[in-house]
């Protein structure tokens, strides 16, 4: 039952096919791909390296710009970023940049290349709260600037939201390798230590020159009508459990999912790969305004998920949910053995001394709080990009520079 869940859904490139794909690239003058990457990676540069058979150079370009290069290669919604303006679309279809990046980072791993380097120690220390994408990237960027970095994670495993992305899209081994690389740089990790509860923020402020808060949107939202219903599970809890148990979970044959973001797509696809026969996804947004990445939506549809767009839950009675369409008249009633809500997440910042406005810290300039020693990044930081892995990487890179400036670096 679990075999499909554990297998990467999209096959990687072979040495032949990666060269074929790189040969399709037009090698633009002002490559739109490189202007669009939130992580600041230059796909045009690493694709050119592949084209001219410099795979090691390609790996350097990716890794030096993105500490989570192998992860982003698999989960980045490239159609919104690098692939969006690809000039090749003027001929047929964009270059499959994500998959080329995956080939190159797999190559890097196969050679055990150590591209990231720690900077010369500057005698200063930074504590990071959380170990999601933005925290990991910030840790690497700070290490490269010479800071001693310690990461505090409330869960037993490192990675934050990365541990929710299903195995078929992002295998745990890939996340483990990325974290291993970061550990080798000298970042110290503490697991099972919740700052604000087990460790007081004040203690960290005393022991470190700066504290960076990166708690992430780790908790699932509940809708009032579903509260207390024993048939209801929150998407993040479901995904976390399935991943932790490597797909060895029992799921009934008829599941209703509510929500239309990337998390919802992960849930419905996971259900299908686990062998659930009837997966019905009811979504507030209509297809024309869909939130999930096109690739994930198409993947779910290919597996046979029933998706109804434009409906809102109207009434919940045990296993039976009635939905009303937002624009047209009519109602739909669905009975399911399990109901999974994927209607958004929120962060828990209790004990961290910051206040949230619409889920973000808004106490001064981007990445700053009212406390000059405390910074924020990741989901709770203001950003012009979506709250994706690569969006987190962006904030991690940027906040490291702000911290460095505040602590007297260049």
- Contact residues for other proteins, defined by CB under 8 A: 16, 19-20, 22-23, 26-30, 51, 87-91
What are the distances in angstroms from CA 58 to CA 53, 87, 109, 401? Answer: 9, 21, 13, 25
Residue 82: CB minimum distance to other proteins, A: 15
Q: Which residues of 230-265 are buried (b: 16+ CB within 10 A; e: fewer)?
A: ebbbbbbebbbebbeeebebebeebbbbbbbbbbbb
Question: What is the C-alpha to C-alpha distance for residues 290 and 284, in angstroms, rounded to an integer?
Answer: 9
Residue closer to other proteins (CB basis): 104 or 210: 104
Residue closer to other proteins (CB basis): 20 or 277: 20
Residue 28: CB minimum distance to other proteins, A: 4
Residue 92: CB minimum distance to other proteins, A: 10
Residue 293: CB minimum distance to other proteins, A: 24
Note whether 396 and 378 are within 8 A (CB).
yes
Residue closer to other proteins (CB basis): 111 or 312: 111
Residue 45: CB minimum distance to other proteins, A: 14
Residues with Cβ within 8 Å of residue 3, at least 6 apart in sequence: none
Residue 107: CB minimum distance to other proteins, A: 17
Residue closer to other proteins (CB basis): 89 or 350: 89
Task: Specify which residues 331 forms β-bridges with.
Answer: 324
Question: What is the C-alpha to C-alpha distance for residues 166 and 142, in angstroms, rounded to an integer?
Answer: 29
Q: Give the dihedral sign, CA 263/43/47/184.
A: negative
Collapse the DSSP code of 93 into the 3-class scheme (helix H, G, I; strand E, B; otherwise coil) and give the result: coil
The torsion of the CA quartet 97, 103, 108, 112, rounded to 10 degrees, works out to 150
Residue closer to other proteins (CB basis): 23 or 350: 23
Residue 78: CB minimum distance to other proteins, A: 19
Question: What is the C-alpha to C-alpha distance for residues 309 and 257, in angstroms, rounded to an integer?
Answer: 12
Question: What is the C-alpha to C-alpha distance for residues 275 and 407, in angstroms, rounded to an integer?
Answer: 53
Residue closer to other proteins (CB basis): 26 or 116: 26
Residue closer to other proteins (CB basis): 19 or 244: 19
């Amino acid at each position: 039952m679990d075999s499909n869940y554990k297998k990467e859904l999209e096959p990687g490139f072979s040495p032949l096919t990666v060269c074929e794909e790189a040969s399709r690239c037009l090698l633009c003058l002002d490559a739109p791909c490189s202007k669009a990457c939130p992580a600041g990676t230059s796909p045009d540069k690493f694709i050119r390296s592949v084209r001219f058979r410099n795979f090691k150079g390609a790996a350097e370009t990716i890794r030096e710009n993105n500490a989570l290069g192998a992860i982003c290669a698999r989960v980045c919604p490239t159609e919104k970023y690098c692939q969006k303006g690809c000039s090749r679309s003027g001929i047929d279809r964009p270059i499959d940049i994500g998959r080329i990046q995956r080939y190159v980072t797999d190559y890097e791993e196969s050679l055990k290349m150590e591209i990231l380097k720690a900077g010369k120690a500057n005698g200063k220390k930074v504590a990071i709260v959380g170990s999601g994408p933005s925290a990991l990237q910030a840790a690497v960027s700070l290490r490269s600037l010479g800071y001693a970095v310690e990461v505090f994670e409330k869960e037993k495993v490192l990675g934050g939201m990365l541990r929710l992305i299903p195995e078929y899209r992002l295998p745990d081994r890939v996340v483990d390798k990325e974290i291993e690389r970061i550990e080798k740089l000298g970042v110290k990790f503490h697991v099972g230590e919740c700052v604000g509860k087990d460790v007081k923020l004040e203690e960290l402020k005393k022991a470190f020159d700066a504290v960076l808060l990166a708690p992430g949107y780790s908790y699932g939202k509940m809708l009032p009508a579903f509260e207390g219903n024993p048939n209801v599970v929150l998407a993040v809890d479901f995904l976390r459990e399935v991943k932790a148990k490597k797909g060895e979970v029992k799921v009934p044959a008829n599941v209703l999912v509510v929500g239309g973001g990337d998390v919802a797509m992960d849930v419905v696809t996971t259900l299908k790969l686990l062998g659930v026969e009837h997966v019905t996804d009811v979504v507030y947004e209509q297809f024309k305004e869909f939130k999930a990445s096109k690739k994930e939506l198409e993947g779910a549809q290919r597996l046979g998920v029933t998706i109804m767009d434009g409906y809102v839950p109207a009434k919940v009675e045990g296993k039976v949910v009635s939905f009303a369409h937002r624009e047209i008249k009519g109602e739909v009633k669905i009975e399911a053995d399990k109901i999974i809500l994927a209607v958004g997440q929120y962060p828990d910042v209790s004990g961290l001394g910051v206040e949230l406005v619409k889920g973000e810290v808004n106490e001064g300039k981007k990445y700053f709080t009212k406390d000059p020693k405390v910074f924020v990044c990741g989901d709770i930081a203001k950003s012009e990009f979506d709250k994706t892995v690569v969006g987190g990487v962006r904030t991690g890179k940027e906040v490291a520079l702000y911290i460095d400036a505040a602590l007297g670096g260049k």
